[in-house]
Structure 1
Amino acid sequence: MTAVDTVTGEEATAQVRPGDYALICAEPCWLEHTQVDPETGTVTITLKGYRGRHG
């Protein structure tokens, strides 16, 4: 996966393997916290700044 900042042109590349995930947040939204339950493999993510689909 490659992400490009269209303003600065900065790029970041990472390999996403089967069973993994990628989260892409657009400002003003950001990842605040990640909690992992090792017994179930459940990942709970907390996003802040989310305004919904309609702003």
Structure 2
Amino acid sequence: MARTFTFDCPVCEVCTVVDDDVRDLVLDEGCVLCAADVTRAAFSPSSRGRDR
């Protein structure tokens, strides 16, 4: 099962749950809403999906 993370943009404050692949994409490309550069600090482990 893929790990999930809560992404919280420090610039536009968008908050959403993402998987490993999307986290890597956001780290490479920036926030999908405002395009701000983000670091791993913008992600925290999410409990969503662990009960499946």
Larger strand percent: 1
For Structure 1 versus Structure 2, the TM-score category normalised by the shorter chain is under 0.3
TM-score normalised by the chain length of structure 1: 0.25
Larger helix percent: 2
The higher relative CO (CA closer than 8 Å, separation ≥ 6) is in 2
Larger Rg: 1
TM-score normalised by the chain length of structure 2: 0.26
